[in-house]
Amino acid sequence: MTVKDIFETMEYGPAPESSAEALAWLADRGGIAGPYVNGKWGPLRDDMSIHNPATGERLAGMTKSTPEDVGAAVKAARKAQPAWAKLGGHGRARILYAIARLIQKHSRLLAVIETLDNGKPIRESRDIDVPLAARHFYFHAGLAQLLETEKPNHEPIGVCGQIIPWNFPLLMLAWKIAPALAAGNTVVLKPAEYTSLSAMVFAEICTQAGVPPGVVNIITGDGDTGAALVASDVDKIAFTGSTAVGRLIREATAGRHIALTLELGGKSPYIVFDDADLDSAVEGLVDAIWFNQGQVCCAGSRLLVQETIAEDFHARLRRRMDGLRIGDPLDKCIDVGAIVDPVQLKTITDLVDAHPEGDHHVAATPLPATGCFYPPTLITGLSPASPLMQTEIFGPVLVGTTFRTPAEAVELANNTRYGLAATVWSENINLALDIAPKLTAGVVWVNGTNMFDAAAPFGGVRESGFGREGGWVGLSAYLKPKTTGKTLKPIAPHSGSGGHDGLDRTAKLYIGGKQARPDGGYSREVYSPKGALLGHASLANRKDVRNAVEAAAAAKGWGKTTGHLRAQILYYIAENLSARAGEFANRIKDMTGKDGNKEVEASINTLFTYAAWADKYDGAAHGVPIRGVALAMREPVGIIGALCADDAPLAGLIGAMAPAIAMGNRTVLIGSEAYPLAATDLYQVLETSDVPAGVVNILTGSHAELAPTLAAHLNIDAVWSFSSTDLSETIEKASSGNLKRTWVNNGKSRDWTNPDADSFLPAATETKSIWIPYGE
């Protein structure tokens, strides 16, 4: 075309970034992506092929690491870990800083390789992925520097197996490796099968930065390799990927005393109120669902628009979609690149084709003739029941419906198994700041979307996984307390044959603020160590668990109460317990044979501790690089089921209950199996202490029998186990149903005279990051 022709048509024309340097880089290294273990490459085998999804061309071969290769990498990491931890925070900070600088120095190579491999637009890899990856290492260099003074009671977990997805290969690598290294762990990281090339560049950066051999190990391969890593001798698995695979990993790691964090899928709501800046909200959707071709776990993929503006908004949106430019990802003038692989393209195509309901608008913009491309698509007029409103599509497909009121918007937004992110558009600060905390999500963006920073924790609730990445909260997922308990011996109930002294007293269950007979109609005798009959305790069954959870669910207002109110109630419990201290001490003595006074005092101290924390476990305002603020709000986890300690029948129950309810959770507590009567005696204390019905529910019975029901219950958000019966594997495995958080003792004891707020408060809360850009 001549200048004159273009002067008339005003087309953009091609603006390609060169791939020559990147391809030469690959060729110089033999054109094979393979393991980087103990600071060395290999074995390099052409087991698999890596393709450019935009063209279908082969970019490189790849080693499919065998379980032996994986074992060698884990061994190298194990060997390197003590010295890496011993290097100290400052020593590690220097190396993380060097990595950050080297990422910047090789920024264009990384960006081009990422785009060739993944198909994302060069603008995104250049302006978003690579700078955020560098930022992550800078930030964590700082955390490493401060670690010893800020977290003196913690130490690294050990060897971390890390499995990352193909949508942000370098960025997810950074999110995984930076905190692990900062905390003193060593890693074995498996990049995704489709996208292993930027990890090769990163491996070279590690060598240049002076990362000691074995501290960072990278193993290439497919799902089998990942499974081998999960099965290997690691101390932690950190996974980002699909909910289905996350569930398999949860099951595979159950009972192995392995720390686990999962960052999984989402179907994040994008809510537009009628007072929003509609054009800006439309533009936000470009960043929400057409960023990285919609292959983003936190993509705003579920559009909820207020009815009054829906027609106008959809018209503006369709017009904007028609202006999106799709094409060669290396072109600096395109908005939407290639889908990562033909397999993913088929998944998207099949899902959309299978559900013709709703109004489909396909962007009126030309698609390249070849390569893996899917057009930006909007499907409106759906109902919450439509499968496309519930299923994660992981592609450039936006689905939507309308709402009438703010309350309905929240209800629709939360009508999902996921809980990763949410977006709210409104110019009304009252509305926006009212809605944000009500959304079930780990991240909420107000008048913006897909904003990320190393300082602001990112992660989900519900089936979007657990654990946070970023900030001190994210770092804590790579640390453990220095102290560990002793091995717990299972405590069996005492036996005996004596009859009852005095008037018979029946200990029922405590459900919904009332004492209830057990559904099964069974009780068992409770004897003293010398065989005297102390009373009868009910044997709860699965239906009692169901009833208790229903009562807890009905008490949802508890999470919205003020910390001040919750503190008052905890103090009141302490007051009423104190008034009956002697009676409780005697009961403990009768059941255990040990002096009970200390345990009662410890329980009162614990109640005071969490009453104190109830209005003091503050969130944070993170310094993120925008004009605005990223709030980290502490929210209750929801309904927590806890198998309470057998050895400390009162302090163990209070020790779990107090932090949970102080943070606004509702609880289903299973009292000590061997010594249940301290728990049942507590009913009257709770009844006289203004604890709202359903906030605390107490069952007694067999831990082994009740644990699977608790762990599998889909309306329980977390299960804790301090039982002397080691139920860790049972609980972790059964928890995969709704991917509830678990906190198990792995058969270790705990000192119940220490409230241990360091451990309990994080377990009793979720961190929600709320991004609020501002400026007029």
Q: Which residues bind another protein (CB under 8 A)?
A: 1-15, 123, 126-127, 275-281, 283-284, 315, 323, 332-333, 335, 427, 447-448, 626-628, 773-776
Q: Nearer Cβ to another protein, position 3 or 369?
A: 3
* Longest pairwise C-alpha distance within the chain: 108
Report the amino acid identity of residue 610.
Answer: Y
Q: How many CB atoms lie within 10 A of CB 284?
A: 22
- How far is residue 277's CA from residue 425's CA, in Å, rounded to a whole number? 8
Q: Nearer Cβ to another protein, position 109 or 333?
A: 333
Pair 130, 110: CB distance under 8 Å:
yes
Crossing angle of helices 169-182 and 107-118, in 10° steps, is 130
Sign of CA dihedral 209, 215, 220, 226: negative
Q: Nearer Cβ to another protein, position 4 or 86?
A: 4
Q: Nearer Cβ to another protein, position 332 or 580?
A: 332
Q: Which helix (H) or strand (E) segment is 175 a member of?
A: helix 169-182
Please provide residue 205's backbone torsions phi and psi, each rounded to the nearest 5 degrees: -60, -40
Two structure tokens written together for 397: 């497909």
Q: Nearer Cβ to another protein, position 203 or 276?
A: 276
Please provide residue 258's backbone torsions phi and psi, each rounded to the nearest 5 degrees: -105, 130
Pair 587, 600: CB distance under 8 Å:
no
Peptide bond into 212 cis (omega under 30): no
Q: Nearer Cβ to another protein, position 6 or 27?
A: 6
State how far Cα 556 lies from the chain centre. 22
Q: Nearer Cβ to another protein, position 133 or 219?
A: 133
Instruction: Give the residue carrying structure tokens 């087991």.
Output: 47
- How far is residue 70's CA from residue 584's CA, in Å, rounded to a whole number? 55
Write down the catalytic residue from 17, 193, 263, 766: 263
Distance in Å, CB of 9 to another protein, minimum:
8
Q: Nearer Cβ to another protein, position 6 or 407?
A: 6
Pair 541, 710: CB distance under 8 Å:
no
Distance in Å, CB of 431 to another protein, minimum:
13
Nearest to 691 by CA among 555, 579, 593: 555
Q: Print burial letters for 460-490: b (CB count within 10 Å at least 16), e (below 16).
A: bbbbbbbbbbbbbbbbbbbbbeeeeeeebee
Report the amino acid identity of residue 457.
Answer: P
Please provide residue 399's backbone torsions phi and psi, each rounded to the nearest 5 degrees: -120, 155
Pair 64, 221: CB distance under 8 Å:
yes
Please provide residue 698's backbone torsions phi and psi, each rounded to the nearest 5 degrees: -125, 130
Distance in Å, CB of 236 to another protein, minimum:
36
- Give first-to-last CA distance, the chain, whole Å: 44
Distance in Å, CB of 332 to another protein, minimum:
4
Residues facing residue 400 across a β-bridge:
303
Q: Nearer Cβ to another protein, position 286 or 691?
A: 286
Q: Which helix (H) or strand (E) segment is 609 a member of?
A: helix 597-614
Two structure tokens written together for 66: 């065998």
Distance in Å, CB of 767 to another protein, minimum:
23
Pair 632, 474: CB distance under 8 Å:
no
Distance in Å, CB of 552 to another protein, minimum:
40
Distance in Å, CB of 167 to another protein, minimum:
20
Q: Nearer Cβ to another protein, position 86 or 627?
A: 627
Helix or strand or coil: residue 740? coil
Q: Nearer Cβ to another protein, position 398 or 573?
A: 398
Distance in Å, CB of 399 to another protein, minimum:
23
Q: Nearer Cβ to another protein, position 57 or 279?
A: 279
Q: In what order do the strands lie in the sheet with 465-466?
A: 40-41, 36-37, 216-218, 186-190, 159-163, 236-240, 259-263, 465-466
Report the amino acid identity of residue 524.
Answer: R
Distance in Å, CB of 698 to another protein, minimum:
49
Distance in Å, CB of 10 to another protein, minimum:
5
Distance in Å, CB of 480 to another protein, minimum:
40
- How far is residue 109's CA from residue 105's CA, in Å, rounded to a whole number? 9
- How far is residue 485's CA from residue 487's CA, in Å, rounded to a whole number? 7
Pairing between β-strand 479-481 and β-strand 154-156 as defined by DSSP bridges:
antiparallel
Two structure tokens written together for 411: 């209800």
Two structure tokens written together for 495: 């036996």
Q: Nearer Cβ to another protein, position 278 or 439?
A: 278
- How far is residue 767's CA from residue 603's CA, in Å, rounded to a whole number? 27
- How far is residue 465's CA from residue 461's CA, in Å, rounded to a whole number? 6
Nearest to 186 by CA among 222, 235, 146: 235
Two structure tokens written together for 399: 């689905």
Is residue 263 among the annotated active site residues? yes
Distance in Å, CB of 396 to another protein, minimum:
16
Per this entry, what is the length of the chain?
A: 776
Just list the catalytic residues: 263
